Chain A
Amino acid sequence: GIQVEQSPPDLILQEGANSTLRCNFSDSVNNLQWFHQNPWGQLINLFYIPSGTKQNGRLSATTVATERYSLLYISSSQTTDSGVYFCAVDTFQTGANNLFFGTGTRLTVIP
């Protein structure tokens, strides 16, 4: 199946700092989503972004499908941004709309 690599695996930031999370994938994708998993396990949708750029408040994301990577930008980080961020993709080759997840980036924002 498709390989999804996320970097960095862990990130510690001071409140107010900016960060960039990266997701590399090994095949053409027809779906790419970014999620934030809170401490209770809930996956919260951040972006549906198989290509292009989107912004939502302090968060923005860019996917360059031809170069097989996506970036998630977090600006002016807050303690509530802490948690694990997952990138998940699906390919045109699979028979079902199933997502392949990376291993995540664990973000800790300290006051």
Chain B
Amino acid sequence: ETGVTQSPTHLIKTRGQQVTLRCSSQSGHNTVSWYQQALGQGPQFIFQYYREEENGRGNFPPRFSGLQFPNYSSELNVNALELDDSALYLCASSAEPGQGGHYGYEQYFGPGTRLTVT
């Protein structure tokens, strides 16, 4: 069973640039969520993708966008980078989105991409 993988491991960008981060979900999982973890904080939910559509979004501006592909892998795109975007970006996958009145499905995280904006 292949776990969640992310690329690249580290990235350095300049303020105003755009960045794309990639995530491959664990085998058998169809739902991908992205989280941002600032230094010294817990991860914060950015958005979730299910069936190639956004399936929920946290308190992040529209310059954070994403995609999910037919093989369930996903991309996170951030436009017009700001210094505060410097963080560890984590991708998580689950077997189903698990919403409404149902119990949520266990989420498994990738190793993360550390983004530095200068």
A residues in contact (CB < 8 Å) with B: 4, 30-31, 33, 35, 40-43, 45, 48, 50, 86, 88, 90, 92, 94-104
Number of A-B contacts (CB under 8 A): 83
A96-B97, A97-B33 provided; 4 other pairs, C-beta below 8 A?
A94-B99, A98-B48, A99-B43, A99-B92
Contacting pair B45 A99 (CB below 8 A) = yes
What sequence of 0s and 1s flags, for each residue 100-114 of chain B, a beta carbon within 8 Å of any chain A beta carbon?
Answer: 111111111101101
Kindly state the interface size class of chain B when it binds its partner.
Answer: 35 or more
B residues in contact (CB < 8 Å) with A: 31, 33, 35, 37, 41-45, 47-48, 55-58, 88, 90, 92, 94, 96-109, 111-112, 114
Contacting pair B94 A98 (CB below 8 A) = no
Name the distance in Å between A79's Cβ and chain B's nearest Cβ: 22
Chain B residues with CB under 8 Å of A100's CB are 45
Asked whether A96 and B48 contact (CB < 8 A) given A30-B98, A31-B103, A86-B42, the answer is yes
Chain B residues with CB under 8 Å of A90's CB are 104
Asked whether A92 and B48 contact (CB < 8 A) given A33-B106, A98-B58, the answer is no
Chain A residues with CB under 8 Å of B58's CB are 98
The residue from A43, A95, A101 contacting B99, defined by CB atoms under 8 A apart: A95
Chain B residues with CB under 8 Å of A43's CB are 43, 90, 109
Chain B residues with CB under 8 Å of A86's CB are 42-43
